Amino acid sequence: MKTLKDLKDLKGKRILVRVDFNVPLKNGKIDDDNRIIQALPTINYLVGSGARVILFSHLGKIDYKKATPEELKAQKAKNNLKVVAERLSEIMKQPVVFSEVTTGKELDDKVAALQDAEVLLVQNTRYEKGEEKNDPDLSASWAKLGDVFVMDAFGSAHRAHASTYGIPELLKKDGKPVAIGFLVEKEVHALSRVVNVKNSDRPYLAILGGLKVSDKIKVIDLLLEKCDKIIIGGAMAYTFQRARGFTTGNSPVEESQLDYARECLAKAKDRIVLPLDAMASDAFSPEARTVNFPTVNENIPEGFEGLDIGPKTIKLFQAEIAKAKMVFWNGPMGVFEQKEFIKGTAAVCEAIASLKGVFSVIGGGDSASAAKKLGYFDKFSHVSTGGGASLEMIENNGHLPGIDIIGD
Ligand code: AMP
């Protein structure tokens, strides 16, 4: 697979770059610009090479299936990429041309007027209905704007859309160069290591948390093959506890996944590590009573919902983490958004962050924001920018459509 450094003679070339500027917005303002920052090495390298840089990204969701025309208009207004063009321009300290439209003469003219080392950002690719359908006409209208394609949107690489798949497919057919950018290169390097496990990286520990077992079945299956141990915390753990025959009070349990959990437990034996106790509350609010209950043998009573792991579990998980040579973490141990229930997630995060000489990866999403909130972001070997993409890459044993298309 070609990387950015393999591309030669970039001066004056029109480079189409798919970046992931799908940033969280609050009241129309960018709440966290990490994804913009992560795209800078590639953009700066291209600008420094005298290329003409044309950036594509989606932002948020636009629901063409259910929304009324008015709702569509509102969704588009909410997910206008203009704020990102402004922020990028501030960060880069150079103007960023913004195309309000996604296709047509106005965009074509702006691309034609672009000079060497200038940057243009195209409006949200999802303004086009054909984006998510990988519409060939849409892909062709974008592909014709460039001489080279660079894929640097790791967070969107699990989607075969027009801007992530259609463009590189067409450029390749025309014999034009396509490559991965620096961010995707970094992500692939780190996530390949957690699926292609070397003996020197063992014991290999995966820590999974979050809400649903059903979202993570394929990941659990693959990790069970690859890991020496898997810790399961968060709400997911209650489905496993119920599968073991313990009652879980009002904690979230996926009844439909009980058989699956039993199969996992039978297959994995003591390689799956489950919580010993929980912090459970009698109402989902900070004012409620929160009590520490065991989750094994004696159980969480009716009326109480487990919202975080308890102190015994923290000790157990810390001890497992201390033995690991490589750690992959995805999903919080509790409702970490509330300060009353952040302790378990914080303890796990701190335990991984304080390991020395260990390869540690956060698979994006909530765990990445927890690590950031807790101040441990820089202590991990790699924090993925793509929650869904990193999980799918693990499920697919290191493959994603938007990255595979760049290869031969
Ligand atoms: P996911 O998207 O599957 O990684 O789930 C993340 C969400 O799971 C977060 O918003 C957490 O608040 C929530 N979560 C984690 N543990 C629990 C729990 N014990 N009870 C309810 N929600 C939880």
Q: What is the pLDDT of residues 355-384, one digit of tens each?
A: 999 999 999 788 998 999 999 989 999 999
* Domain identity same for 27 and 115: yes
* Domain identity same for 159 and 120: yes
pLDDT at 233: 97
- The response to whether residue 71 sits with its C-beta less than 6 Å from ligand 1 reads no
- The response to whether residue 307 sits with its C-beta less than 6 Å from ligand 1 reads yes
Report the percentage of the chain scoring pLDDT > 70. Answer: 99
Distance 330 CA to ligand 1 centre (A): 11
Rg over alpha carbons for the chain, rounded to the nearest Å, is 23
Q: What is the pLDDT of residues 395-407, one digit of tens each?
A: 999 999 999 999 9
Name the active-site residue from 13, 35, 126, 242: 35
- The response to whether residue 310 sits with its C-beta less than 6 Å from ligand 1 reads no
Distance CA 163, CA 21 (A): 13
* Domain identity same for 322 and 353: yes
- The response to whether residue 344 sits with its C-beta less than 6 Å from ligand 1 reads no
Distance CA 181, CA 197 (A): 24
| pLDDT band, residue 258 (cuts 50/70/90) | very high
Domain assignment present for 348: yes
Distance 335 CA to ligand 1 centre (A): 5
16-35 average pLDDT score = 94
Would the pLDDT of 125 be above 70? yes
174-196 average pLDDT score = 97
Distance CA 136, CA 173 (A): 13
* Domain identity same for 152 and 247: no
Q: Range with the lowest mean pLDDT among 2-6, 173-177, 212-216? A: 212-216
- The response to whether residue 387 sits with its C-beta less than 6 Å from ligand 1 reads no
Domain assignment present for 213: yes
Which of 279, 204, 268, 193 has its CA nearest to residue 234? Answer: 279
Would the pLDDT of 204 be above 90? yes
CATH code assigned at 176 = 3.40.50.1260
The total domain count for the chain is 2
| pLDDT band, residue 288 (cuts 50/70/90) | confident
The residue range of the domain holding 116 is: 4-183
Name the active-site residue from 365, 386, 387, 402: 365
pLDDT at 296: 85
The pTM is what? Answer: 0.90
Q: What is the pLDDT of residues 40-79, one digit of tens each?
A: 999 999 999 999 999 999 999 999 999 999 999 999 999 9
* Domain identity same for 328 and 373: yes
CA 301 to chain centre: 35
Domain assignment present for 402: no
* Domain identity same for 143 and 209: no
Q: Which of 183, 202, 232 is the last residue of a domain?
A: 183
3-state secondary structure of 25: strand
Would the pLDDT of 240 be above 80? yes
Q: What angle do CA 96, 100, 104 make, to 5 degrees?
A: 115
pLDDT at 285: 63
* Domain identity same for 155 and 129: yes
Domain assignment present for 407: no
* Domain identity same for 179 and 277: no
Q: What is the pLDDT of residues 307-317, one digit of tens each?
A: 999 999 999 99
Domain assignment present for 406: no
| The residue type at 217 | I
Give the ligand 1 atom nearest the CA of 212.
3
* Domain identity same for 45 and 87: yes
Domain assignment present for 102: yes
pLDDT at 17: 98
Domain assignment present for 408: no
Domain assignment present for 173: yes
Would the pLDDT of 284 be above 80? no
Give the ligand 1 atom nearest the CA of 365.
4
